[in-house]
Amino acid sequence: MPLRKPIKPPELRQFANVWTMLGQPSSEKEWTMEQRFRQAKKEGFDAVGWGVIPEAAKLCKALDMTYVCYIDAHFKTFKDRLEMAADTEPARINVQLADHDTLPVEAVEVWIKMVEVAETLGLTIDLEVHRDTCTETPEKTWEIAKRYKEATGKKLRLSFDYSHFALVKHLSPPYAKRLLEHPELVRVARQMHFRPFNGHHCQIPVTNGKGKITPEFTDYLQFVDDLFACWFAGAKGGEILYVCPELGPRGGYGLSTFPNVWKDACLLRGETETLWKKHLALWKKQ
């Protein structure tokens, strides 16, 4: 009887967003781009993400990391944006598509064309769930997914950032029941942005500025746990999930009273890895 080929387990690759490192370690002595990549490597990240930056491919090669490229796009710009993104030699591309007032029917037209162009360029793209884009609400996002399925017969590959839905929908913990309402789309996802949230804040502090974990973050980690359980239930083996412990700097997502966001992001990376390992062990048993 021939031996069954061993199944390769799913893999988690966590990427640091350069955005989190803006103004780090201080606005006067900000790290250079190379130093940011090195810091990410030092902190245990497998990848780095941000916009179309010329040094991305070279730095990733030197440090044995991969790159997740962030672009925005709409009907007129998507070709240009994809061509530019190709220079970063990205593992995946995160797309913020169109505007807050773009109708799902228009958005899906752009996305279908964009997937085709991306394929010819050898790029893998994920449609980000994000306010101020065509996916600003769950209703719009699910309508886009439905229309995409009807047009192509395939499930839409989203990059979930649930902080946006939680805020728009005024949610309370536990969040999973309201947020994980489309498990089939969670399972097809290969990129996620983990920005800790609650139902009124698109970003919450991981720590209280004295190194202690906040109660809001504890609630959020329960959601990460539930999200991994959902994702693993669909994993067949060999999948790579890119996850970004994503905290924005001061001046918007980051409030002036929040503790150091980079340190918080590094802590979240560690907690995410722990949860992943727990679910991976369960998956292997099954």
Partner 1 sequence: MKKAPVLKQFANLWTLGQYPTKDKEWGFEEKFKQVAKEGFEAIGGGAWPVAELCGKYGLDYICYIDGNMKTYKERLESAVQSKPARINVQMCDHDTLPAEAVKVWMKMEPVAEKLGLEIDLEVHRDTCTETPEKTYEIADRYFKAKKKKIRLCFDYSHIACVKHLSHPYAPRLLTHPDLVQKSRQVHFRPFNGHHCQIPATNGKGEQTQEFKDYLQFVDAFIELWLKGAKGGEVLYACPEFGPQGGYGISTFPDVWEDACLLRRETETIWKKHLKNWSKKK
**Least spacing, CB of residue 204 vs partner 1, in Å:** 6
**Least spacing, CB of residue 71 vs partner 1, in Å:** 18
When asked if residue 214 is in the footprint of partner 1 (CB under 8 A), the reply is yes
**Least spacing, CB of residue 245 vs partner 1, in Å:** 17
Q: Which amino acid is at 6?
A: P
Among 21-29, 104-112, 115-123, 197-205, the segment contacting partner 1 (CB under 8 A)? 197-205
Place of tokens 């989190």: 20
* Alpha-carbon dihedral angle through residues 76, 79, 84, 89, given to the nearest 10 degrees: 140
Binding-site member from 63, 117, 121, 168 for partner 1 (CB under 8 A): 168
For residue 160, give the nearest of 203, 122, 132, 130 by alpha carbon. Answer: 130
User: 245-284 mask for partner 1 (x: CB under 8 A)?
Assistant: ---x---xx-xxxxx-------------------------
**Interatomic CA distance for residues 159 and 54, integer angstroms:** 24
**Least spacing, CB of residue 209 vs partner 1, in Å:** 6
User: 106-145 mask for partner 1 (x: CB under 8 A)?
Assistant: -------------------------xx---xx--------
Answer whether 127's CB lies under 8 Å from 133's CB.
no
SS3 184: helix
Kindly tell me which of 19 and 242 has the beta carbon lying closer to partner 1: 19
Instruction: Label each residue of 240-263 as H, E or C.
Output: EEEEEECCCCECCCECCCCCCHHH
CB-CB neighbours of 40 under 10 Å: 28
**Least spacing, CB of residue 36 vs partner 1, in Å:** 23
Retrieve residue 268's tokens.
């979240």
Evaluate the omega torsion of the peptide bond into residue 174 and state whether it is cis, within 30 degrees of 0.
yes
Helices 138-152 + 104-120 axis angle, to 10: 60
Site for partner 1 in 25-54 (CB under 8 A): none
**Chain residues in the site for partner 1 (CB under 8 A):** 100, 131-132, 136-137, 167-170, 172, 198-205, 208-209, 214-216, 248, 252-253, 255-259
